[in-house]
Amino acid sequence: MDIYRIKTEGQKYTFSLDARLLQKSGLLLFGLIGSMAGFSQSEMSAFTATGRAGAASTFVTDYQAMGINPSNLGWAPKDDKKISFGLLEGAYSFYSEALIKSELIGSLKKGNTDFTYDEKITAAQDFTESGLAANFDVTWIALGIQPKKELGGFAFGIRERFQWYSKFSEIMSEILFRGYNAPYFTNLILTTGDTIINSANLPQDTLGLIEKGINLLPKLFSEILGESELSMSWYREYNFSYGRILLGNENTALYGGVGFKYLSGMAIMDAKVEGGELEAFSAITPALEIEYGDSAKTNNPSSVEDEGLLPKSVGSGIGIDLGISIVLGEKLKIGLAINDIGSITWDGNVYQAGDETLIDLASPGFSSYNLFEQAQEILGDSGFFKWNGVVEKKISLPTHLRAGASFKASDKFEVGFDIVIPANTVAGNYEKSLIAIGFDIIPIPWLRLSSGLSTGGNYGYNLPLGIVLMLSEGAWEIGIASRDAFTFFNESRPNLSLSTGFLRFRF
């Protein structure tokens, strides 16, 4: 089930794509995940906002306000276009502190290569305390209607949301990449039945005989993880939002909005240490073919089988977005929203790991950076954690607070800022607050250029660029943007990203 792999050359890493899972699931989602390593970006899949570094709270209107600030649906429709419709608006990005841009790009044209023994050692060293973050958001279809001021505005959309974040302690990184040969394991059991002392200078023929590592003074999982973090989430979201004016006049008005969303959960994995205790659980759609072992599967009360062409849901939940905004004289806008209030209950293929001691390991460790293929080495029956099936697991959604303001100096220039603050630490949320400053310039009626600067939110400093063509007096918008122009010029810490929209229409 190869989605991508990384080839190592010295201390550089490269990726290459494989479309087999894409063919299996039939989803565009996994074709783009193939180029990933976080998190859901501040502008979601609104490609018109990506070029402003995600400054969106007081810029987005019509259906693009869903998930950002639903109160904006109550505003007077932009350019007096009361109906908006969009298909396949998407955005994805990949950020790593251990990758080299030139090698990453070049690898997209090359074949797959498994790690050698020396490359595993190098990978374990390089990825110690190095963050790996990725996200993918796509709006499959969305519709917005803003009939008149008194009624407010309505929007409906279906969106896919995927995130990954990982950061490993030294001991965790060594175990994941080197498996039973990691220094953690004091003794090694060979296929011959012999037990030997683990050493950094074992001959190649002995390395080929290892079948298990043993630690005679084992540590708890919580001690091994330390500050490590590993999280993934994949939701499908069905969103209905409404916004309208609450009070005011043509010069000053207060707007309010609410969004209701039904979430279909496809996958989640979350492992971290809180208060000195291990918290680790997973629920993965059977379409991803994670093998937990026959015994664990048989004894799991929530075990489910794959059905049909599309991946089977293994969780569901309800979320709410709340927002308000103030418009002052059509020049100054201020917005405040709290999004993803609610929870999701995972009730399919749910496994939980206890804070036990890691005595032995039968896994050779990661053989590549195909993270989905290597997920078996974490989640599987020979993997790092010892999983037990449970009936269900209820967790909060990645709630976050966002605030922003913008000033429209003229019809050709608008500038603003956003701050997004995570309200909890569940999978899918930011590790730290995101701050974004962005602007739009319209040099000619059919062209809008955007840029800005952002920091935080797991992606370091970013300088975005965006271009939107507004054809037929704005009835058809086409755009493309990158979340980080620094990546065009720098080799280190690349943030490979793309945000596009070719089928956005307003009438």
pLDDT digits (tens, 9 = 90+) for 49-76: 888 888 899 999 999 999 999 999 999 8
pLDDT for 370:
57
DSSP per-residue letters across 369-428: S-HHHHTHHHHSTTSSS-EEE-S-EEEE---EEEEEEEEEEETTEEEEEEEEEESS-STT
Q: Is the pLDDT of residue 27 over 50?
A: no
Q: What is the 3-state secondary structure (H, E, C) of 350-361?
A: EEEECCCECCEE
Report pLDDT for 190. Answer: 94
Q: How confident is the model at residue 377 (pLDDT cuts 50, 70, 90)?
A: low
Q: Does residue 199 lie within any of the structural domains?
A: no
Q: What is the pLDDT of residue 81?
A: 92
For residue 381, being part of any structural domain is answered with yes
Output 2 or 158, whichever has higher pLDDT.
Answer: 158
User: Where residue 130 falls among pLDDT bands split at 50, 70, 90?
Assistant: confident
pLDDT-derived band at 363 (thresholds 50, 70, 90) equals confident
d(CA 139, CA 160): 6
pLDDT at residue 495, as a whole number: 72
One-letter amino acid of 296: A
Number of domains in the chain: 1
Q: What percentage of the chain exceeds 90 in pLDDT?
A: 45
Higher pLDDT, 317 or 28: 317
Give yes or no for residue 367 having a pLDDT over 80.
no
Which pLDDT does position 67 carry in this prediction? 93
Average pLDDT over residues 391-397: 93
Q: Give a yes or no: residue 200 inside a domain.
A: no
| pLDDT, greater one: 356 or 96 | 356
Residue 380: pLDDT band with limits 50, 70, 90: low
pLDDT band at 493 (very low <50, low <70, confident <90, very high): low
Mean pLDDT calculated for residue range 259-287: 90
Residue type, 418: D
* pLDDT computed for residue 446 by the predictor: 94
Mean pLDDT, range 163-184, rounded to an integer: 89
Q: How far apart are CA 236 and CA 37, in angstroms?
A: 20
Please report where in the chains the tokens 């993880």 appear, as a residue. 225
Residue 126 CB-half CA count within 13 A: 20
Percent of the chain whose predicted confidence (pLDDT) is above 70: 83
How much is the pLDDT for 344? 95
- Cβ proximity of 188 and 213 under 8 Å: yes
In 3D space, the residue among 3, 6, 1, 17 whose CA is nearest the CA of residue 367 turns out to be 6
What is residue 395's predicted lDDT score, i.e. its pLDDT? 92
Q: What is the pLDDT of residue 42?
A: 54
pLDDT of res. 381: 60
Does some domain include residue 419? yes
Identify the pLDDT of residue 22.
Answer: 33
Instruction: State the pLDDT at residue 14.
Output: 32
pLDDT score for 425:
83
Average pLDDT, the chain: 82
Question: Looking at residue 469, which CATH number applies to its domain?
Answer: 2.40.160
Q: Using the predicted structure, report yes or no on whether residue 2 has a pLDDT greater than 80.
A: no
Query: Is pLDDT at 157 greater than 90 in this prediction?
Result: yes
What is the DSSP track for 102-149? HHHHHHTTS---PPPHHHHHHHHHHTBT--EEEEEEEEEEEEEEEEET
Residues 394-408: what's their mean pLDDT?
A: 94
Decide if 198 is inside a domain.
no
User: Model confidence at 166, in pLDDT bands (50, 70, 90)?
Assistant: confident
Mean pLDDT of the region 74-82 = 90
Angstrom distance (rounded) from CA 428 to CA 135:
9
Region for residue 10 given its phi and psi (left: phi exceeds 0; alpha: psi -120 to 50; beta: otherwise): left
Residue 49, domain extent? 4-190+207-506
The answer to whether residue 202 is domain-embedded is no
Which of 87-96, 153-162, 172-181 has the highest mean predicted lDDT (pLDDT)?
Answer: 153-162
Q: Which region among 211-225, 451-465, 473-487 has the lowest average model confidence (pLDDT)?
A: 451-465
Q: What per-residue confidence (pLDDT) applies to 379?
A: 63
Q: Is the pLDDT higher at 246 or at 460? A: 246
Beta bridge partners of 85: 143, 505
Which amino acid is present at 163?
A: Q
Q: Are 459 and 133 in contact (CB under 8 A)?
A: yes
Is pLDDT above 60 for 401? yes
